[in-house]
Amino acid sequence: MVSENIAGAHSVGLMVDGWSNIRNEAVLNFVVTTPKPFLFKIMPTGTAPHTAEYMAKTLDAVIREIVPRKVFGIVTDNAANMKAAWALIENDFDNNIFTYGCFAHSLNLIFTDLKNLTSLKSFTAEAVSLTKAIRQSHILSAWVKEKQNELKISCSLKLPVPTRWGSLDRVQGYIMLLEPIANTITSVEGDTPTISKCLHLFKKMVNTSLENVTKSPLLSKEEADTRAIFENRKKFAIYSVHFVANLLDPKYRGCELSSDEMTDATEVIYKVAQKMPDVDEAAVLADVVNFIAKEGLFKKAFLWNEDTIAAILASQSILH
């Protein structure tokens, strides 16, 4: 089934993630998106250190197993070894391969950075202490359960867990700061997210969180630190491929791209066209201009019908 779907896809994406199994053995998972995701390979790595060279060599072998000309994108976490492996992979293949970091992982890093601010760290410690005290007392636990029943609240008390990306502190000021991040993570989870919406979601998330930062209990210096965190993590969350996908998605047509981002996107499209056989890169750029302006072929109204756009997005894995 996996082979048939890969064979039928115009292009595919490759996702790789490392983890430890129940025996604490290092394992690499490889998922192919057609754009529908399929588990392609599970690879134990034994005692091999996950250096950039090792990861690049492993990715190289998997890409060749899939068929190099079909692999258009590789997404990993944002670790330094993986980013170094990207450069090695891009040098190994003549065809167009985009390498970029996991968007959801980048959002989790923002969440973690914010939780390390002094005010939030102090509040988390107090919340943990209070939660433990309640859970260790039968009387307090019964009282909390009674109040939950009165208010028709079904959730139980939970301690913060580092790997629970959507965990939220239950104080309104911090919720207003952190909730946009958790909501954005939720919106990109699942089997059918498209990278074309990542830029839109990221900008919306940042704007909402920063609007709420003055309403949070953060110190003045921490408000500035929060802005710096968002700016710094954008480098890990958004790449040229996101600009290109946003530009080519009929729903956006690059409307939210800055002038620099638009230049970056068109340059990437030009370079991709240069590597493709029998493709006139100048003609491709002309088509992009007409697409943005809804001129030429793209002037036809039926092309902008919602059903037509949905069909295009469903068939073009370049946007996934």
pLDDT for the residue 22:
80
Q: Do residues 77 and 101 lie in contact, with contact meaning Cβ atoms separated by under 8 Å?
A: yes
Query: SS in 3 state form for 21-35?
Result: CCCCCEEEEEEEECC
Per-residue b/e over 272-284, b at no fewer than 16 CB within 10 Å? bbeeeeeeeeeeb
pLDDT (average), residues 180-207: 88
Q: Is 73 helix (H, G, I), strand (E, B) or coil?
A: strand
Q: How far apart are CA 93 and CA 11, in angstroms?
A: 15
pLDDT for the residue 79:
87
- Residue spans per domain, the chain: 2-101, 105-238, 241-319
Structurally, what CATH architecture does the domain formed by 2-101 represent? 2-Layer Sandwich (3.30)
Percent of the chain having pLDDT more than 90? 46
- Indicate whether 312 pLDDT > 50: yes
Note the pTM of the prediction, 2 decimals.
0.80
pLDDT for the residue 293:
92
pLDDT for the residue 219:
83
What does R_g of the chain's alpha carbons equal in angstroms?
23
pLDDT for the residue 161:
54
Per-residue confidence at 166, pLDDT binned at 50, 70, 90? very low
- Which amino acid, one-letter code, is at 315? S
Both tokens of 96, joined, read 């167009």
pLDDT for the residue 290:
93
Percent of the chain having pLDDT more than 70? 91
- pLDDT per residue over 249-275, tens digit each? 988 999 989 999 999 999 999 999 998
The larger pLDDT score, comparing residue 273 to residue 35, is at 273
Pick the range with the lowest mean pLDDT from 54-58, 193-197, 316-320.
Answer: 316-320
- Which amino acid, one-letter code, is at 210? L
pLDDT for the residue 320:
44
Q: Can you give the length of the chain in residues?
A: 320
Q: How far apart are CA 180 and CA 186, in angstroms?
A: 10
Q: How far apart are CA 230 and CA 237, in angstroms?
A: 10
pLDDT for the residue 220:
86
Among 243, 241, 248, 239, which Cα is nearest to 284's?
Answer: 248
Q: How far apart are CA 151 and CA 145, in angstroms?
A: 10
Among 229, 180, 174, which Cα is nearest to 202's?
Answer: 180
Q: How many helices (H) and strands (E) does the chain have?
A: 13, 5
60: enclosing H helix or E strand? helix 52-66
Among 53, 2, 58, 3, which Cα is nearest to 27's?
Answer: 58
- pLDDT per residue over 89-144, tens digit each? 988 887 788 999 999 999 999 989 998 998 888 877 877 887 888 888 888 888 88
pLDDT for the residue 254:
93
Q: Which residue has the tokens 């959801």?
A: 104
Q: Which residues lie closer than 8 Å to 88 by C-beta, 6 or more apart?
A: 52, 53, 56
Pick the range with the lowest mean pLDDT from 170-179, 186-195, 310-319.
Answer: 310-319
Give 146's DSSP letter. H
pLDDT for the residue 318:
43
Q: How far apart are CA 116 and CA 160, in angstroms?
A: 13
